[in-house]
Amino acid sequence: MGTAALSATVLATFMGAVTADGVLAAPNPYMGDAATHTITIDSDGSYQVHIDQTMELARDYDFTFGGTVHDGFRLPDTESVLPPYLRAQYSDPAMTMDGEPAEVDVDHMIHAVSISAEDEFTEGEHEGTVDYQVTGAAVGSAQAKTNAGGVVVYFRPLVSGDVVVKSGEPISAVECEDWPPKGEPCGTKSGDEWLIGRGELAETDAVRISLDTEEAGLIEPTIDTTK
């Protein structure tokens, strides 16, 4: 093999463009993605989630809009050996892909739920939306062991992205949990909404939203102390 051919082979291998068979590998299909979750909290502690999701492909490729989320939120625990968890219920899923209704695939695993839709997309930018309802993810401040409001609502993003929190009841505090149940204040208030950036949630287990409201009408949560 000549010097020029050898150099080309070494360079191509170093760049990851040649496989063991000498066949050119396909380029990475992903060029960028973004998502914004908008959650709207009702007076009973339930909330609706709307996700605007975009992605850009460098070539034709299968892509999945939506994702998987854990159904449990760890509550502060000082007495029992096993920590208590809220077990939230996810319902009423709906999705679109590039403006067209999509068939939603909902899978319930041991303690997680997947809400997603997959298709083969062409090169370029594509958009998707995801909608679903969450109940059973709120408790009174006594159970949450906080003095920052009468009701505490827990939320976990379905996919990595920004979060916009809306509520008919005043929001008194928002915390991001790096290691539940410990949390640190996060996000910024903008009018009646609360904005949390994608970077603030990168290592976060859940978002804890305290509402300045009475517990009357709050949906009775399911608390699990077995797992």
In single-letter form, the type of residue at position 156 comes to R
Residue 28 pLDDT level (bands cut at 50, 70, 90): low
Q: Buried b / exposed e across 31-62, counting CB within 10 Å, b at 16+?
A: eebebbbbbebbeebbbebebbbebebeeeee
Cα dist. 193→127, 131, 165, 187 in Å?
24, 19, 6, 10
Residue 65 lies in a domain: yes
Is residue 183 included in any domain, yes or no?
yes
Mean pLDDT score of the chain, rounded to an integer? Answer: 82
Per-residue model confidence as pLDDT tens digits over 135-175:
999 999 888 887 766 999 999 999 989 999 999 999 999 99
The mean pLDDT of 205-221, rounded to a whole number, is 90
- Residue in 135, 126, 179 with CA at minimum distance from that of residue 154: 135
Give the residue-averaged pLDDT of 166-185. Answer: 88
* Residue 158 resides in a domain: yes
Examine residue 181 and say whether the peptide bond preceding it is cis (omega within 30 degrees of 0).
Answer: yes
In a domain, 21, yes or no: no
Q: Is 4 helix (H, G, I), strand (E, B) or coil?
A: helix
Asked if residue 77 is part of any domain, the answer here is: yes
Neighbours of 109 (CB within 10 A): 10
Q: State the total domains in the chain.
A: 1
Query: What 3-state DSSP class applies to 151?
Result: strand
Q: Domain range spanning residue 125?
A: 27-224
Lowest mean pLDDT, pick from 12-26, 35-49, 98-112, 152-166: 12-26
Helices and strands counted in the chain (H then E): 2, 19
pLDDT at 162: 94
For residue 58, the domain's CATH number is 2.60.40
Asked if pLDDT for residue 11 goes beyond 90, the answer is no
Question: For the purposes of burial, counting CB atoms within 10 Å of the CB of 187, is it exposed (0-12), middle (13-18) or buried (19 or more)?
Answer: buried
CA dist 57 → 38, 116, 186 (Å): 25, 18, 32
